[in-house]
Amino acid sequence: MAQHAHQLHQGDALRDAAARRLVDRGEQWTDMRAAVFDALAGFTKPASAYDIAEQVSKARGRRVAANSVYRILDLFVGSNLARRVESANAYVANAHPGCLHDCIFLICDTCGQTTHLDDDRLSGGVREAAAGAGFEATRPVIEVRGTCSDCS
């Protein structure tokens, strides 16, 4: 199957799904983690840890260090609550945290908009090619740079 169906969440439903996922993995959904997730989910484009730290600092009325945000983002990536856009060193909230799969990002070089695609056939091919070379791909990263339809 080239593509698969999953439940996409938005707003409060996304936050609730993220909290459930983290708790189901034996982690706590703390106020700080909630604040970082809310800030991340509020961005329309991939956000850096510094962007998120600035948003959380404004919302909390006190400075939040980027290194604290990085630690939380690492937890979120490991728990499938967020995805890291490697080439931009930025993050996006995963709108379907209960669905485990490889992601493909289409990144516009003009406006920075990032679109997430699911195509198991393509990512499976990458995993198969890696296995054929004697390599176990634990997290394939597929990013395609170009121009989005709004900018072309």
pLDDT band at 1 (very low <50, low <70, confident <90, very high): very low
Is the per-residue pLDDT at 8 higher than 70? no
More confident call, 58 vs 10: 58
- Quote the pLDDT of residue 26: 94
Amino acid at 61: G
Is the per-residue pLDDT at 3 higher than 80? no
Report strand pairing: 142-146 vs 104-108: parallel
- The domains of the chain, with CATH numbers, are 11-93 (1.10.10.10), 104-146 (3.30.1490.190)
- Quote the pLDDT of residue 131: 94
Residue-wise pLDDT for 106-151, tens only, equals: 999 999 888 888 777 888 888 899 999 999 888 788 899 999 999 9
- Quote the pLDDT of residue 140: 80
Residue-wise pLDDT for 41-89, tens only, equals: 999 899 999 999 999 999 999 999 999 999 999 999 999 899 999 988 9
SS3 call for 142: strand
What is the full DSSP assignment across 63-120?
A: ---HHHHHHHHHHHHHTTSEEEEGGGTEEEE-S-TT-----EEEEETTT--EEEE--H
Average pLDDT over residues 3-12: 57
- Quote the pLDDT of residue 96: 78
